[in-house]
Amino acid sequence: MSGAPVPIAFRLNGRAVAVTSAPMRRLSELLRDDLGLTGTKVGCDAGDCGACTVRLDGRQVAACLVPAGQLEGTSVETVEGLARPDGGPSALQAAFLDHGAAQCGICTPGMLMAASDLLATAAEADDATIRDGLGGVLCRCTGYRAIVEAVAAVRDGSGPTPGAAASGKVVGARVRKVDGLPRVLGAARFGADEVPLDALAVRAIRSPHPRARFTIGDLEPLRTRHPGLVRVLTAADVPGENRYGIYETGKDQPALADGEVRYRGEAVAALVGEPAAIAAIDDVEVPIEWSPLPPLTTIDDAVAPAAPRLHAEAPGNVLVRGRLAMGNPDEAIRTSAVTAAVEIETTALEHAYIEPEAGWARRVPGHSGDRLELAVSTQSPYMDRDEVARILGIRPDQVRIIPTACGGGFGGKLDLGVHPLIALAAWHTGRPVRATWTRPESMAASTKRHPARIRISGGATADGRLTGVRTHGEFDTGAHASWGPTVANRVPVHATGPYEWQAVLATTAAIHTNNPPSGAFRGFGVPQAAIAHEALIDELAERLGADPLELRLRNALRAGSVTASGQVLRASAGLPACLEALRPRWRRLRDEAAAHRAGDERRRRGVGIAAMWYGIGNTALPNPSTIEIGVSRDGRVTLFSGAVDIGQGASTVVAQIAADALGLPLERVEIVSGDTARTADAGKSSASRQTFVSGNAARLAAADLRRQILQLGEVGPDVEIEPAPGRLLLREPGGRAAVIELGELPVVPVTDATADVVLAGRGFFDPETTELDADGQGVPYQTYAFGAQVAAVEVDLELGTTMVRTIVAAHDVGRAINPQGVEGQIHGGIAQGLGMALMEAYVPGRTENLHDYLIPTVGDMPEIECILIEDPDPAGPYGAKGVGEPALIPTAPAILAAIRDATGVRITTLPASPDRVRAAIVAASR
Amino acid sequence: MAAYLRPSALPDALEALASRATGGRGWVVVAGATDHYPARVGRVPDEDVLDVSALGGLRGIIGGATGTAESGWRIGALTTWSDLADADDLPPLFAGLRRAARTIGGLQVQNRATLAGNLCNASPAADGVPNLLALDAAVELASASGVRRVPLGEFIVGNRRTVRRPEELVTGILVPPPLADTTVRSAFEKLGSRAYLVISIAMVAAILEVDREGRIARARLAVGACSEVAERLTALETELRGRRPAEAPAIPRSDHLATLSPIDDVRGSAAYRQDAALVLVRRALEALAG
C-alpha cells in the first residue's frame, strides 16, 4: 500500500469524520473495513459493475476507484445516509421495495446512490435520462425494469402502491419481499459483510495453466519473509477426503490440487494470515514448479482416441451419458412430408452474480468434538455442510452452515466456493478466517454454463403434426463433474421441446475437458437445448409454410398429453393458453415489423417466438423439503425455512404460503432462513423447486400447526387466530372465543435447539417421481412449468448489432403466489437470456472481468410485457409451480428467431455478437 | 513503506518528478485513478504514487465561447469527462468529443476520469483519442526544466506507450481553432456490444469545416480501436476537400482505411472491425451532411 497512513477529514453522510488511512486505500475499503459501513458493496474493484457507487461531493462515483488520500475536505454519501432520520426507508428506498426493484440486493445500494444523484441533478428526468443515470450499475437479477419504474415513481411523486393483504388472503398478493427492507437500507449482511475484526484471511494460489503437474517447494523462506503469514495450506493439510462434488459418483474436485491441475484457476495452495500480509505476497513468490501439459480445450480434443484421460473413472473422458427413446424416430422422419435439421453451438457462460464468493469460518470447541461454523453466501447449505465435513473428516453435525444474504446465485453458488479453504484454515489455525474472491478469481475458479454442441433433426406431416425427432447434445462439462450429470439427465427429457412427438430419440454426453468445471446455471442445459429445438420447429414451419406460433400451438403438450418419457400430464400444462395469449401480440408485432421493413434498408426488424417446458425439481431423484413452524412461549410465530432466499423471493413465497395456511397476516410470521443448526433440510435453491417443493412443505407445516391449535383450543375450522404476548386468542365466527395460554405448554423439540417453541408444525414434501429406465421412460418430475415468449428485434444490417425492442412473455406458473416476484423472475430471466443470445462468452484467461465478459446493462433491456397464465397444479401449494429457470429458457431462441426473421440468417453459434451476425449476413448475400 | 505525495502546486509535483527521473523507482502518476485501480485488482503493488488531483489551475476548459477562440482552447489536465459533457458553452467543434465523454465507462468513471489520463493510459480503445486526433490536439508536457507541446499523433506511440518522459507531467491538452470563416460540425460514432459500460469495437470521430460556398474546406477523421494507435484518415480527408457535405457520405471506400491494422479479440474479428469502421465513417459523415 502506497504511503504511510495520514489523517483525513471529510464529511460522511452529513457528519464530520476524521480517519487515519493509507492514502491509496480505496474508499470502498475505508468505508467497509475501517468505518464499518458495509452497505457499500464491492463487486469488481475495477469500476465495471457500479455496486460500490457512492456520492462524492454529490456526484456518483465508484468507491473502489477513489483513493482515500483524495477525500480531504470532501463530502461522501453512502446508502447508510439515505434513510429517514427515524431509520425508516426514504421515498426512494420505499419505492424500491414497492416495485420489487431489489431482488438479491447486492446492486441495490449502488443503484440507490446512482438514482439519488440522478434525482438530485435531473428532477424532471425522462426514462432515457433515468437509464443514463443508472447505466453504470450492473444488476443480474431484475432485468432493470422494476428499478427504472421505482426511480420514475419517485420522480413522479407517486406513493406506494401495494396495500396489506387481509389475513388468509396473502397468496396471490403483490407484497413487499419479507427480507427486502434491510436490502434497501444497506443493512443486509452478505458474505463479505459480517466478518469478525480479528479474522485471518485466506487467499488461494491458483493454477495459471489449464493442465499441468506441479510440485511445491520449501515454504519456510516464504514464511520467514512474511511474518504475517500464519500458514500455507496444501493438499497435505486436508484431514479428510480431498475431493468433493455434487453426486456420490462425482466427487472429483480437490479442495487443493494434489500434484496435478485440470483447469486454469484450480487452487493448489492457500496462504493464511493477516489480511494485509497476505495481500502483499506476489503469487510468484510461492515456490511452485509447474510442468504444463497439453490441455484438452475442446470436446473434439477430449474424445480423440489418443486423448489423455483426465479422470480415472471417466473412460474416453465421458462423464455420463443421457438417453430418452420412444418409438422409431428414423422411420417417422423418413416418412414425414417435411424434414429439417439444425446444429447449434453455445459457449461457456459466467453467472456474473454481482457478489463474488465470500464468507468466513470459525472453529468452536464442543463436547463431542469441535465444531466448525461457516457463514457463507450459498444456495445449498445442507450439501455444503456434508461436503465440508467430508473434507475435514468430521461428522456433518459438527459443521454448521449459516447462509448470509446471497448476492445472486443462478446456480453458481450450488457448488462449494470459499468453503473448503476457509474451513481448512479455520480448523488448522483455530482462528476465524475470511475469504472474498476477487472478481477475476471468481470468474476463473467458479463453474460455468456448459458449452454445448447440439444437433437435432425432425419431421412433420403436411398438415402440421410433428412426427419423429432425433437429437444429440454434447456438453463440455469441463475439468470436474460438478452438476454435469444433472445436465446430461435433464436435457433428454426437454431436448425435443414442449411438444407431442410420435417418436423421439434424445441423447446426451457430458465430456471432460480442461476448461473450467461446468456446473449449474439457471436451466441445467435446457436453455442450450431450447435453442436447438426451437430452431428446428421454425425450420419445419418454414418448410410447411406454417405460422410458427400456430405450429407450436397445434403440437403443444397439454393436459392429457403423454410425454416422450411416457408420463401423462394430468393437469397444469398451460402452454396452449400461453400461446393463445401471445397470438394477438405476435400478429401485431409481425405487422409492425413488416411495415417498418418497407421503410429502412439499413435496419431491419423481425419477430420470433419460442416455447419451453421445464420439470420442477430434481430429475427422477428424491428431492424432499422439510419445513417447521412454531409458536414460541411469548406468542411469536416463526417459520423455520431452510429454503435459502438467493434473491428470487423464496422467503417471501414460503412465508406467504405459511401465513395463509395458518390463517395469520404475513407480518405476524417471522422467518429464520437456511441455518443448518436452526432449520430442517429444505434442499437446495435450485431447479426452480422452492415454490413447489418447499412451498408445499411450508403449507403442510402451517396446516399441521393450525390443526394442533384448533385441537388444543377446541375450536372449529373457521376460527381466527390472533397471537398475543404469551397467548393465542382464538375467535370463532359466532363470537365464541378461546385462549391458549402458551406459558402452560411444555417446550417441544424443533431443529433449532435454542427455540422456545411450545407449538410446532412440521411439513414434509417430496415430489412424486419414478426412476427412469434405460430408455428414459418414467416420471422424471411431478410437474412442469410451461411458457412462451415473443421477441421483436431490430438488426443493423451493416454493423450486425441487434437491439431487442420488445419481449412479451407468457408463463404458466400454476399460481402466482406473489405476482410481483414472478414478474421479477421473468424480467431477470429475460435479461440473462438476452445476454446469452447476444453478448455473453466466457473465455478462460481472457474474459475474467466484467468489462470483457459483458452482461446486459439497463440500456440493453427491451420493453417487457408479462402475461401470467395460472393453470393451477393440484399438487402445487395453492396451485403454484416454479418460474426461476423457465423465464430464461425461451428468450435466446426467440431473439435468434427474430434475427432470422429480420435478416434471413440463422445464427447457430452463440452469442449472436455483431461480428457473427454481420458475417452471416455477408455470407448469405454472396 | 512506499511513498505518496499529493502536492497542491505544480512546481512541487515537477520537482518530485525530477528527483526520480533517472534510475530506481519512478512515480506512478494518479489523478482520477479510474485506470489505476482496475490494473491492480487483488494486488497491492509496492509503488510510489504521485497524486496530482490537488494541483491548482489544471481543471477546466479555457477559450471558446469566452471569446478567445482565435487562439483555440486549453483543456486542463484534470478536466474530467463530465466537466466536458456538462460544458454546454463549447462550440459544435467539440460535439463529437462531448458525445464520447458520455460513453466512457459509466457516470461513475466519467465523473472522475480525466481526459489527460485517457491519453496517458494510451489504450488502443481510448475513446478520447480519435476525437482529439481529429481536433489536431497537442499535449502540453511540463517539467522542472520547461514546457513542451507534442502533437497528440506523436504523443501516443503504441499500445499503452507515450513519449512522456519520467520527469514530465501532462498539464493540458491544446485544441487549435477551426479555419476562419467556416462552419464547423463534428460527430462521433462508437460501436460496442452493449448500451453502457462498453469498450469500443471500433469508433470514428469526424470534423468538417465548411466554407461560405458550402464546400468542405477541411475534413478531419480518425478511427480508434482498429490499430495500435488511433489513426487519421488522411487520404479520405484529402478527397473530401472541396466537396459538399451532402456528397461526403458516398465518398469513403475501403481503401481509405487500408492503413488500419485491427486485431481479432473477444469484441470482434479483425475483418469485422475493418468492415465496421468504414460503415462508421460513412455514418459519421451522414450525421454531418445535413
Separation CA B168–CA A124 (nearest Å)? 45
- Measured CA to CA, the distance from residue A831 to residue A813 in angstroms comes to 19
Is residue B162 in some structural domain?
Answer: no
Fold of A200-294+355-407+413-445: Aldehyde Oxidoreductase; domain 3 (3.90.1170)
Pairwise CA distance, residues B177 & B116, whole Å:
19
Position B195 in a domain: yes
Dihedral class, residue B57 (left if φ above 0, else alpha if ψ from -120 to 50, else beta)? left
Closest CB to B44 among A138, A279, A918: A279
CB B178 within 8 A of CB B136: no
Domain boundaries of chain A, sorted by first residue: 6-81, 91-185, 200-294+355-407+413-445, 515-531+545-616+780-925, 625-765
- pLDDT at position B290 is 81
Contacts of A121 in chain B (CB under 8 A): none
List, for residues A327-359, the tens digit of each pLDDT value: 999 999 999 999 999 999 999 999 999 999 999
For A280-305, how does the pLDDT look when each residue is reduced to its tens digit (9 = 90+)?
899 999 999 999 999 999 999 999 99
Q: What is the pLDDT of residue B67?
A: 44
* Per-residue pLDDT band at A161 (split at 50, 70, 90): low
The CATH T-level fold of domain A91-185 is DNA polymerase; domain 1 (1.10.150)
Kindly report the nearest CA distance between residue A231 and chain B, in angstroms.
20
The answer to whether residue B269 is domain-embedded is: yes
SS3 content of chain A, % helix, strand, coil (to 5): 30, 25, 45
pLDDT of res. A477? 98
φ, ψ of residue A549 to 5 degrees: the values are: -70, -45
Q: d(Cα A762, Cα A865) in Å, to the nearest integer? A: 39
Q: How many domains does chain B have?
A: 1
Question: Would you call A914 helix, strand, or coil by DSSP?
Answer: helix
Report the relative pairing of strands B156-158 and A59-62 from DSSP bridges: unpaired
Instruction: Please report residues of B whose CB lies closer than 8 A to that of A1.
Output: 2, 44
For A404, counting Cβ atoms within 10 Å of its Cβ (0-12 exposed, 13-18 middle, 19+ buried), the class is buried
Q: Name the band, by pLDDT with cuts 50, 70 and 90, for residue A734.
A: confident
Which residues in chain A have their CB less than 8 angstroms from residue B48's CB? 2
* pLDDT > 80? residue A168: no
* Nearest one of B54, B9, B2 to B30, comparing CA atoms: B54
Domains A6-81 and A200-294+355-407+413-445 share a fold: no
Give the least confident one: A40-49, A64-73, A617-626, B65-74: B65-74
CATH hierarchy code of domain A6-81 = 3.10.20.30
Nearest to A250 by CA among A50, A448, A478, A412: A478
Interface of B with A in 196-255 (CB under 8 A): 196-199, 201
Q: Which of B47, B52, B108, B189 would best serve as a mutation to test chain A binding (most A beta carbons within 10 A)? A: B108
Residues of chain B found within 8 Å of residue A857, distances taken between Cβ atoms: 194-198
pLDDT at A163: 53
As to burial, measured by CB atoms within 10 angstroms (0-12 exposed, 13-18 middle, 19+ buried), residue A328 is middle
* Residue A413: pLDDT band with limits 50, 70, 90: very high
Q: What DSSP letter does each residue of A128-188 carry, written as one string?
A: HHHHHHHTT---SSSTTHHHHHHHHHHHHT------PPPTT--TT--PPPTTHHHHHHT--
Cell 419460442, located at residue: A610
Q: Point out which residues pair with B202 in neighbouring strands.
A: B191
- Check residue A13 and give its pLDDT: 98
Residue A75 has pLDDT above 50, yes or no: yes
| Whole-angstrom distance, CA of residue A826 vs CA of residue A861 | 13
Whether B189 is in a domain gets the answer yes
Q: State whether residue A189 is helix, strand or coil.
A: coil
Its domain, for residue B256, covers 183-287
The percent of residues above 90 in pLDDT, for chain A, comes to 95
Residue B201 lies in a domain: yes
Lowest-pLDDT range, A310-319, A342-351, A591-600, A772-781? A591-600
- What residues in B contact A44, CB-CB < 8 Å? 41
What CATH number is given to the structural domain containing B245?
3.30.390.50
Q: Which of chain B's residues have a Cβ under 8 Å away from the Cβ of A854?
A: 193-194, 198
pLDDT at A343: 98
Interface residue B38 vs chain A (CB under 8 A) = yes
Which of A354-363, A508-517, A596-605, B261-270 is predicted least confidently? A596-605
pLDDT of residue A159: 67
Across the interface, whether the CB atoms of A843 and B266 are under 8 A apart is answered: yes
**DSSP labels for B81-97?**
HHHHHH-TTS-GGGHHH
Q: Which region, left, alpha or beta, applies to residue B133 given φ > 0 means left and ψ of -120 to 50 means alpha?
A: alpha
CATH architecture for residues A515-531+545-616+780-925: 2-Layer Sandwich (3.30)
Closest-CA distance of chain A to residue B280, Å: 9
Q: Kindly report, residue by residue over A241-253, the tens digit of the pLDDT.
A: 999 999 999 999 9
CB pairs under 8 A between A and B: 180
Give residue-wise pLDDT tens across range A178-199. 999 999 999 999 999 989 989 9
Mean pLDDT of A681-689: 94
Q: What is the CATH number of domain A625-765?
A: 3.30.365.10
Q: Which residues pair with A629 in a beta bridge?
A: A639, A761
Of chain B residues 63-82, which have a CB less than 8 A from chain A? Answer: 82
Contact B41 A438 (CB under 8 A): yes
Q: Which three cell numbers stand for residue A599?
A: 421503410
- Is residue A438 over pLDDT 80? yes
Per-residue pLDDT of chain B (290 residues; tens, 9 = 90+): 689 999 999 999 999 999 998 877 899 999 999 999 999 999 888 899 999 999 989 999 998 544 445 789 999 999 999 999 999 999 999 999 999 999 999 999 999 999 999 999 999 999 999 999 999 999 999 999 999 999 999 999 999 999 999 999 999 999 999 999 999 999 999 999 999 999 999 999 999 999 999 999 999 999 999 999 999 999 999 999 999 999 999 999 999 999 999 999 999 999 999 999 999 999 999 999 98
Q: With pLDDT > 70 as the criterion, what percentage of chain A qualifies? A: 99
Contact present, A109 and A62 (Cβ < 8 Å): no
User: End-to-end alpha-carbon separation of chain B, Å?
Assistant: 60
ipTM score:
0.97
Judge whether B289 is closer than 8 Å to chain A, CB to CB.
no
For the cut 80, the answer to whether the pLDDT of residue A107 exceeds it is: yes
- Residues of chain B with C-beta less than 8 angstroms from the C-beta of A4: 1, 4
For A42, nearest residue in chain B (alpha carbons): B41
Tell me if A67 and B108 make a contact (CB, 8 A cut-off): no
User: Within a 10 A sphere around the Cβ of A774, how many other Cβ atoms?
Assistant: 7
Sheet holding B146-151, edge to edge: B61-62, B73-76, B169-175, B138-143, B146-151
How many angstroms separate the CA atoms of A9 and A15, rounded?
Answer: 11
